[in-house]
Structure 1
Amino acid sequence: ENLKFFVSANLTLFDFDEKEATKEFVNLKKEYDNIFNLESNHPFEWRFEFPEILDDDGNFKGFDLIIGNPPYIRQEELKELKPHLAKNYKVYKGTSDIYTYFYELGFNVLKDNGVLSYITSNKYTRAGYGEALREFLLKNVKVLEYTDLNGIKVFDSATVDTSILCFEKSKSKDNKFKYLALSNEILKTCAYDIGLYKDFAEFSQNSLSKESFTFSDENTSALKAKIERIGTPLKEWQGLNIYRGILTGYNEAFIITTEKRNEILANCKDEAEKERTAKLIRKMLRGRDIKRYSYEWAGLWVIGTFPSLKLDIEQYPALKQYLSQFLPRIEQSGEKGCRKKTSNKWFETQDNIAYYEEFEKEKIVWNRISSDLCFSYDNQKNFILDSMFSITFYSNINLKYLIANLNSSISKFWIKNNAATLGDGIYGAKIYIEKLPIPKINSKNQKLVDELINLVDEILKAKEQNKNASTQELENKINSLTYKLYNLTEDEIKIIVNKEQKWKI
């Protein structure tokens, strides 16, 4: 009654909802109890537990050492925190996972010359969202050690690749730090005590940049720089487009077998409807269908009801009947058990896909995450899913020249040294592939270009005749030609070959 009297006395413009107000009051009381019952919950007050980090006047001096395993929470779950993070952290990036902010927080509570050591996801070293953090670290700390755990499972519940960064809160113009790419073999050698391992590599902190933390020896770094000097990043090629595949929001409804496609078409009332419907159901490729140069179609189709087409579903009764059985699951309302909230209609795909016509062109396709990044040539108008990307051209550039380079050992070397890794896999997202440097075609290299195109034609012909045909000899010839394309020396070729052999182990 007191609550009702208070609210009614103070609210004149809004209706009073007693049920809602009571609910809010209960929540407020819980918060109140939580705050004022802290003492009985045995709170940790570090200023009392560690008085030595305060000076004689009680001012905070900082910790000598911080060791931690910050939480890993994806940025999609941080919506309510983002305004606070943006206001209080220099390393803020809207797409950053929460562990990145703990580096700045740890730095702030370290005393000068104090040491911090964290085990976290290693994605910040190369991902776009890590650029602000990389810049912050390079400006403010002296890296002491970096251990890449190389997909070794440290935590049973963690699905991300991890690394250990150890730094000192000080600056150094020409700092050298220890680096270890950990492997199971190394762990066995030192009886699972890394402290006993002596063969750490040594790198200069000056070799790191805000663009990427790439840990390479001098010869590898020099070779990488040469490749970048001779080639031109794909994003600078006029007429080249890279597109992500189709996000349906619910593949169980929109991806169908040939049998189901035939059933839907058989339910069309006349030939006109059947023709309209057939145009919307397109052959599609999944990531697992992609092989080197070629692909193996699994007999699957995607229902291409793209919002950009502005379709009237009433013109497709058989398709409407099929899709309606998945209601309310395919509603785009954001409600529990439905697809995410969009302005699209229930029968449409989740993404707009205004570029759907690009999939009908000659193109190169690849899976975003793969143990051995493979690029496939497609001129059969296949559509692809959102786990994949495609390259198309609207200028007169031969895609077969491009795919020869993409599948070459040189490209694999460059991608492995620049892209993020996931366990044994490579993360071939657009942000990495568009930076891949490939020599543009000119009068000086035209002969090599023609030879590469001819070899790709031979590979495609062999795969068409027998999908299991061995094309290794042809691919070896392509590698030899690409080495010439980049003017590599015998020593530089050895670096790539040796790296490739290690990746295969």
Structure 2
Amino acid sequence: MYMCKETIKKAVLQKFRDVKGWDFSDFNALYNKVSGFNETNDILEANDIINSITICDPAVGSGHFLVSALNEILSIKSELGILCDSTGRKLNNHKVNVENDELVVTNSQNQLFEYIPNNDESQRIQETLFKEKQTIIENCLFGVDINPNSVKICRLRLWIELLKNAYYRPDGELETLPNIDINIKCGNSLISRFSLDSDLKKALKNTRHTIVAYQAAINTYSHAKDKQEKNEMRDLINEIKNSFKNEIKKDHQVYKDLDKFEGQLVKLTKQVDVFGFNKKQEDEFNKKVAAKVSEIETQKKKIKHLENNKIYNNAFEWRFEFPEVLSDDGEFIGFDVVLANPPYMRIQEIKASQPAEKIYYETKYENAEAAYDLANIFFELAVNISSSNCKNAFIFPHKFFNTSAASGFRSYLRKGQYIDKISHFGANMIFEDAITYTCVAQFSKSQSKGFYFQRFPFKSDFKSLMLDEKKYTYISYHMIEKASELYGKNQWILFDNKEGYRLFEKIYNQRSNISSKFEKISQGIATAKDEIYLFRGEKNENYIKGNFINDEVGREIEEGIMRPYLKGKEVQRYSSPLKNLYILFPYNLSESGKANIMEESEIRQNYPNAYQWLKKTEKEHRKKDNKSTNDEFWYRYARNQGVDKIERTKLSSMEICVTHPNVILDNDNFYHPTTVYSWYLNENAQESYEYYLAIANSKLLWWFLIITGDTLQGDARRFKTNYLNPFPLPETVSQEIQSEIENKVNEVITLKKHNSKINTENIERQIDYIIYDIYGLTKDEIKVVEEV
């Protein structure tokens, strides 16, 4: 698996750097150093160094990452040529690889290994694989999950991996499986009573236990030969942990305050002679005592709340649950690798399902603010529990790099400079049963000026592309900050190459943008019950003749209460939609274009046919939008958006576009639903709608939305107001260029009006090149745009 292979290989390089001082920049250099080892001590030492790597999944689930990590470590040892038996003798004639997340062992003839108990070499290989797996599981792999069933499944999967290489001892019995449950634990990874910097030294001084004894007890438990020994070791382990808890908690401020207040009370009562007090002095003394007693009682209540708080029922104490990541004097060192596909849960879901935990998160985690996601907190946890030279990786929603809700999280990432590499899957779905678009984010505590980035095209062979280091481009934090500044939002705009960044800078040489040239870009009507308003038909004198879309009865509805209506799918670039769909519009328009709901009596008198339909469907009207329209004007739309100032020239765009923009010029006063957006030029605009229609349908705007907008199914993008407004526009353009664009746009519109299926790509390409020229794009920059 890519994540495991990438991070563990880097962790292996780092371990050899830490232990041996070998500062190799890549894995090949390490291979050249260790593959030729022939001395037993050198081979065993190299194995011990790799076996000292600690790997944790704080949301372990069924254990997929840990199983992958187990196999990858074996594969890495084989690749380095140091995989050996317990005596230090290499497995030279066999290779261990990972294929489709399964361990594959082959001989020098590329034949699959098969265990033959009576064959000495086969026995040696099988024993080696079993003992290697056992060592890695016991020393390298750690997992936590809040779901006890997931924990059981994870333990079972690791046992199964061992069973695959179970071997027969000389007595003919299978080797006993170890107790691997000690490293896979149940608890809420995000909640702990004790912080990672809690002073364990004091706890060690005040108990008869040591970290070494703790580690020894766990090792004995793992290799217990019978239930009695296992139970004895479990009791000892729990005794040690409880002693740590009892001593550490004394360092908590509420306990310190209680000691202080009780000491002050003792001092207060011992240093005075109450029998010598007069009445006033006695009253003052009693008030001081009562106040101090009150403070003590308050602290005791705080302690009781702390000790009995239900959110700590599933708390997981990272501070001492895994002694393998503690130094001999009890300092928390952290894990070398943290891998996870953390749960994605929005703030609304957290509030509904974990109200008490939500309060805890928001007091303990920097990223638990505003509209945060649980995955953000898991990222922060991973940073906190990993070692100083860690190599971590998460499968992560890539929406966190550009959504406004994740602004605080991006600031956290920028401040810590944690990101090392992003493999961005774009619109490619990695998990068949998920609807979240993801990336693999590799991160560490080693601050850097930027990170490597690759975005995989839709339906591309991303499994191959992600392994090609040449495909990654380096993005500096300076580039991110500069692009965000130009864009006007705290958003990480991630470029596929440096040419893309330079192009982005260049188009922002234009002094204007869509938000300054257009009065507004707005959604259409939200009726909450389209089927009782929409009418398919044609004009027949003063009526529209046809039928409501869910009603087969033919009707004639008064033209004055009907408006032409345009659905999103009918908005096709440069097209001229037909007037064959209408919406019943129970509003009057003022001279300014503002829509005011009609009185029922007016509809009954002036539009009797329409009124007859409204009365027929009155019950449905009163129920729509959760009965919010069950009032005097029961026939009104659910919301008033999209009804004002519609009847004028405008551009209209399909909200969600897949491969290119779909924008039309509307001279026919079409109304439309929320899946269509209308663009209204400022009244003092010097440029024409045809000119802006060309820009709206341009490849340049599409490229801009691809790199700045949210990813949707099929790699589609939204033409929403907040995505469109930042697009830069020329402040002015010559009349000659504008006329040239207008002529070509009108040519395309005319052709499509006569034949909607006609191919106008050649003319549209000419329009694109005029726009490229307006923005001053070079050939290389045009290539960047058109490759999208």
SS at match of 1:131: helix
Contact 2:391 2:444 in 1 (8 A): yes
Query: How far 1:435 sits from its partner (Å)?
Result: 0.8
Query: How far 1:385 sits from its partner (Å)?
Result: 1.2
Paired residue type of 1:242: I
Range with bigger deviation, 86-95 or 103-112: 86-95
Contact 1:114 1:168 in 2 (8 A): yes
Residue-by-residue CA offset, 1:69-119 (whole Å, 9 max, x unaligned): 233345554554797466665445655554344333443444444344222
Larger fraction in helix: 2
Residue-by-residue CA offset, 1:322-353 (whole Å, 9 max, x unaligned): 432426641534xxxxx7x9999643322222
RMSD of aligned Cα (Å): 3.7
Which residue in the other structure is 1:348 paired with?
Answer: 636
Query: How far 1:446 sits from its partner (Å)?
Result: 2.4
Contact 1:364 1:399 in 2 (8 A): yes
Residue-by-residue CA offset, 1:190-248 (whole Å, 9 max, x unaligned): 7xxx5x544341313322234323133211211121111125221122x5211112222
SS at match of 2:441: strand
Q: 1:216 to 1:256 in 2, by over 3 A?
A: same
Q: 1:180 to 1:365 in 2, by over 3 A?
A: closer
Which residue in the other structure is 2:525 paired with?
Answer: 246
Contact 1:63 1:111 in 2 (8 A): yes
2:581 to 276, 291, 300: 300
Distance 2:571 2:393 in 1: 41
1:218 paired to 2:494: no
1:202 paired to 2:202: no
Distance 2:450 2:744 in 1: 47
Q: 1:349 to 1:108 in 2, by over 3 A?
A: farther
Query: Superposed, which structure 2 residues align to 1:132-171 within 5 Å?
Result: 132-171=408-447
2:403 to 120, 127, 131: 127
Query: How far 1:168 sits from its partner (Å)?
Result: 1.0
Which residue in the other structure is 2:716 paired with?
Answer: 425
Distance 1:171 1:344 in 2: 63
Residue-by-residue CA offset, 1:428-452 (whole Å, 9 max, x unaligned): 221111111121224xx22111111
1:52 paired to 2:333: no
Distance 1:46 1:86 in 2: 19
Q: 1:227 to 1:400 in 2, by over 3 A?
A: same
Q: 1:379 to 1:343 in 2, by over 3 A?
A: same
Query: How far 1:62 sits from its partner (Å)?
Result: 4.3
Which residue in the other structure is 1:179 paired with?
Answer: 454
Query: How far 1:58 sits from its partner (Å)?
Result: 5.9
Distance 1:221 1:73 in 2: 33
SS at match of 1:330: helix
Contact 1:282 1:302 in 2 (8 A): yes
Distance 2:382 2:636 in 1: 47
Q: 1:476 to 1:291 in 2, by over 3 A?
A: same
Range with bigger deviation, 302-311 or 68-77: 302-311
Contact 1:146 1:163 in 2 (8 A): yes
Contact 1:75 1:96 in 2 (8 A): yes
SS at match of 2:644: helix
Distance 1:36 1:70 in 2: 20
Query: How far 1:368 sits from its partner (Å)?
Result: 2.0
Distance 1:249 1:358 in 2: 21
Range with bigger deviation, 108-117 or 401-410: 108-117
1:412 to 681, 699, 702: 702
1:436 paired to 2:727: yes
Distance 1:405 1:257 in 2: 33
Distance 1:200 1:414 in 2: 21
Which residue in the other structure is 1:232 paired with?
Answer: 512
Contact 1:223 1:492 in 2 (8 A): yes
Contact 1:142 1:175 in 2 (8 A): no
2:693 to 403, 410, 434: 403
Contact 2:393 2:443 in 1 (8 A): yes
Which residue in the other structure is 1:368 paired with?
Answer: 655
SS at match of 1:384: coil
Distance 1:157 1:224 in 2: 36
Q: 1:342 to 1:219 in 2, by over 3 A?
A: farther
Contact 2:458 2:715 in 1 (8 A): no
Contact 2:710 2:717 in 1 (8 A): yes
Q: 1:90 to 1:188 in 2, by over 3 A?
A: closer
Distance 1:453 1:70 in 2: 52
Query: Superposed, which structure 2 residues align to 1:298-337 within 5 Å?
Result: 299-304=580-585, 309-313=596-600, 315-316=602-603, 317-326=611-620, 329-330=623-624, 332-333=626-627
Distance 1:56 1:376 in 2: 71
Contact 1:331 1:346 in 2 (8 A): no
Which residue in the other structure is 1:71 paired with?
Answer: 343
Q: 1:68 to 1:403 in 2, by over 3 A?
A: same
Paired residue type of 1:208: I
Residue-by-residue CA offset, 1:352-389 (whole Å, 9 max, x unaligned): 22x52332111111122210221111111111211221
1:386 to 657, 663, 674: 674
Paired residue type of 1:66: V
Contact 2:389 2:445 in 1 (8 A): yes
1:473 paired to 2:762: yes
Q: 1:54 to 1:188 in 2, by over 3 A?
A: closer
1:288 paired to 2:577: no
Distance 1:473 1:247 in 2: 38
Q: 1:150 to 1:473 in 2, by over 3 A?
A: same
Distance 1:108 1:402 in 2: 50
Residue-by-residue CA offset, 1:477-498 (whole Å, 9 max, x unaligned): 211211221122233323333x
Contact 1:69 1:119 in 2 (8 A): yes
SS at match of 1:361: coil
Q: 1:305 to 1:57 in 2, by over 3 A?
A: farther
SS at match of 2:508: helix
Which residue in the other structure is 1:18 paired with?
Answer: none
Contact 1:332 1:343 in 2 (8 A): no
Paired residue type of 2:753: E
Q: 1:331 to 1:477 in 2, by over 3 A?
A: closer
Paired residue type of 1:144: D
Contact 1:143 1:205 in 2 (8 A): no
SS at match of 1:365: strand
Query: How far 1:456 sits from its partner (Å)?
Result: 1.2
Q: 1:416 to 1:183 in 2, by over 3 A?
A: closer
Tell me the matched-pair count.
442
Q: TM-score, normalised by structure 2?
A: 0.50
Distance 2:344 2:633 in 1: 35
Contact 2:599 2:633 in 1 (8 A): no
Q: 1:253 to 1:415 in 2, by over 3 A?
A: same
Q: 1:384 to 1:94 in 2, by over 3 A?
A: farther
Contact 1:243 1:390 in 2 (8 A): yes
What 5-or-longer segments of structure 1 have no aligned partner?
A: 1-33, 269-273, 334-338
Q: 1:62 to 1:457 in 2, by over 3 A?
A: same
Which one has a bigger Cα radius of gyration? 2
Distance 2:325 2:725 in 1: 49
Identity level (%): 23
1:484 to 773, 779, 785: 773
